[in-house]
Structure 1
Amino acid sequence: MSETDDRLVPRRRVRRAVAWTVSVAVAAGAVFWMSGGWDAWRHDAALDSACEGDLAAGELRALLGGAEVTTSGGPGERAWWCRVRGADDEDGRVRLDLSVRRAGSPAAGVEADREDAPLGHGWTGSFGFSPDGDAEDRGEARVTVMLDCGTEPGDGLVASVSTRIDRADFSRAVERDRLTAVLTGTAVSYARRTGCEAAPGRPVKNVGMSVTSWDHRPFAEVSGSCAGVLDAATAARWGVRTAVETVPGPKPVEGCALGGTAGTPLYGFTAFYGPFLGLKGMEQRDDARLVGAHRDGRYMLAASCPGAGGKAVYEVASRTGAGHTSVLALDHPGLRAALRRFAEKSAKAHGCGVPTASSAVSGN
């Protein structure tokens, strides 16, 4: 073989190798396309840019476990919103409705309850899921979180998600954590894009579930939202034997329910923060409703709070007043003192001022 032939041999081998590589690549591409890989890649890319890029796509994938969904969203009249939808024979129905709004705007469409579990881990938020629901409702839940953008009252954001996922079971802590991560990740992304310098909390682990009247415990064992509200002697005198409470942790709406021997409701304490004053029409109440001895055993205090908390209202309502029977006369001074202890503990957790009976509560 000549020297020229010797030079051609490697070139021919290279050409054959290149041709083989191209053929393999084309074949692999065809397999990728035929197997649905292209659609999956395109779906993932769409999630990464969904809802102006704020949707926490990675956290959503972890929650949905590969279910394919469609998304839509963007600025709305009152709030930024993001909608996730999906339905098929294998995964069932998927519905997530997320929203983020300024804390000073009305809370229409945003849900929170005093019996919801706090998120903890540096977040002011709550998770709503009742373990007493039917089996087909185990994929329904709601999460709410408040973010401070500054120290001025009302300077913050309120984000929420309500969901129905047929394949999910939010009685499992891991799925509650995943749904919470979708909301917190989305809210923080929106905050950063819009110039809100919110300090995010830590990843949420083992978030709890809502409590119900069936979850009452002996009053002597309280350690959460009811702790320190009432001393043992007063509790005995009032006939308080049980309590329904959540674990400690700041939430948009907080509560403590005191009851009789079988959990019969006697007294309810509730704290409302920021836009959640509107849940009970509290933004319409003036100072006159905050003072004086009310025959029905209802008293309120108010406080000013930094950031998303804005204004807070603390209320005690007696279940032994009109429409109920009790062998005890209402202890009005005791009720006011118990409310003050409940309010001061809650206000401290939110970084609010000292609750008073003379703070105006109209607006935020």
Structure 2
Amino acid sequence: MLPVDSVLDLAGKSKLSLLGMGFEVSSWQFDVSSDVTEPAGLATRCEVDGIEIAIETTAGAHSAYAAFQGDEKTAVVPLNAGWEGFMVTDDLEATASVLLSCKNWSPKEGSGILVTADSPYDTEVTEPIRLKLAQVATGTARRAAEKTGCETQLGDPDKLTAPETATRTVSADAATGTCKGMTSVPTVRETAGAQAPVEACVLVGSLRLFAEYGPFSDASDAVVNGKYGGHDDPSGVDSSTAWTSATCPGALGIGYYHASPVEGSDRSFKSTPLTKSERTDLQRFAEKSAARHGCVAPAALP
């Protein structure tokens, strides 16, 4: 299922390397969930000369949060060219994730395909490396769909570019991406408002907002307590989280939209409730993200 040329390019190797010593390739299969009867060949994890790639069904996925854990300091930058995916980058490594909905797969068959690919651990994450990693992740997703009979819509490989590595901080009225339309604070941190299974917006000094879809909304340990990001109700507010949700097509499943205090804050929503403008911002953030993904309108906050 791997796009050989792209993987070798990311590893900095030629095809002759496949015949030589010191080039390591390994793979192994695993089950994603006892509730999923995945297609033959899934789920599988591959390691190619320091590059790790996981290919699995979106339902019951194990690797959704391989690198990204929802922290405020990690930029969640969307892929482009029509791909449902994103990349996160730190000083030493980058991870790209791509999600495909399979129109002919039910949730019991896995719903879709999730590919997670890590850059080589001993290579500086430059712009060319980010582009090569994006090509590996999207190329693997395409080949996995072909091999498993997944009927899906792919992005354009020829228009794919290297994702950025950071958010941009702008005044709220100048925001054009994930924070567009926010009014409760003067300054926001955002990324482009392209389709991605994880989207983030930081209301500087106030709240951090996240939108999560498919395996990114239902892969948390807490989800055993409820299908709405670990909650039983489609919307609500507790001491540390305000959330709403929406039903989305295919492997996107439930869209989970939530707000929490910025890192370092000791704010509790019980003692310091969301203001009217903060509630409006969360609802607007959810509505805009849901519309990008073809979901129904998110539930109203209580």
TM-score when normalising by structure 2: 0.78
Q: Distance in 1 between matches of 2:54 and 2:7?
A: 15
Aligned with 2:155 (options 184, 198, 201): 201
Instruction: Spell out the pairing of 1:320-339 with structure 2 (5 A cutoff).
Output: 323-324=266-267, 330-339=273-282
- Unmatched 5+ residue regions in structure 2? 18-22, 33-42
Counterpart position of 1:102: 57
The residue matched to 2:236 in structure 1 has which SS? coil
Aligned residues between the structures? 268
Instruction: Spell out the pairing of 1:270-289 with structure 2 (5 A cutoff).
Output: 270-277=210-217, 278-279=219-220, 281-282=222-223, 284=225, 285-288=230-233
Q: Distance in 1 between matches of 2:254 and 2:215?
A: 8
8 Å CA contact 1:153, 1:304 repeated in 2: no
1:109–1:334: structure 2 CA closer, same or farther, 3 Å change rule?
closer
Q: Distance in 2 between matches of 1:129 and 1:351?
A: 28
8 Å CA contact 2:64, 2:216 repeated in 1: no
Which of structures 1 and 2 has the bigger CA Rg? 1
1:109–1:247: structure 2 CA closer, same or farther, 3 Å change rule?
closer
Task: State the Cα deviation string for residues 26-83 of structure 1 (Å, max 9, x = none).
Answer: xxxxxxxxxxxxxxxxxxxxxxxxxxxx111111222233264221225323322211
Aligned with 1:356 (options 290, 299, 302): 299
Q: Distance in 1 between matches of 2:190 and 2:252?
A: 21
1:319–1:126: structure 2 CA closer, same or farther, 3 Å change rule?
closer
1:345–1:197: structure 2 CA closer, same or farther, 3 Å change rule?
same
Q: Distance in 1 between matches of 2:224 and 2:294?
A: 21
The residue matched to 1:128 in structure 2 has which SS? strand
Instruction: Spell out the pairing of 1:18-33 with structure 2 (5 A cutoff).
Output: none
Structure with the higher helix share, 1 or 2: 1
Aligned with 1:82 (options 46, 50, 56): 46
Counterpart position of 2:38: none
RMSD: 2.9
Pairing 1:305–2:248 present: yes
The residue matched to 1:107 in structure 2 has which SS? coil
- Unmatched 5+ residue regions in structure 1? 1-53, 86-94, 260-264, 359-364
Counterpart position of 1:316: 259
Q: Which stretches of structure 1, 4 residues or more, deviate above 6 A after TM superposition? A: none
1:109, distance to aligned residue in structure 2 (A): 6.0
Task: State the Cα deviation string for residues 149-190 of structure 1 (Å, max 9, x = none).
Answer: 017775211110123243x43232x22111111121112111
Counterpart residue type for residue 119 of structure 1: L
Counterpart residue type for residue 5 of structure 2: G
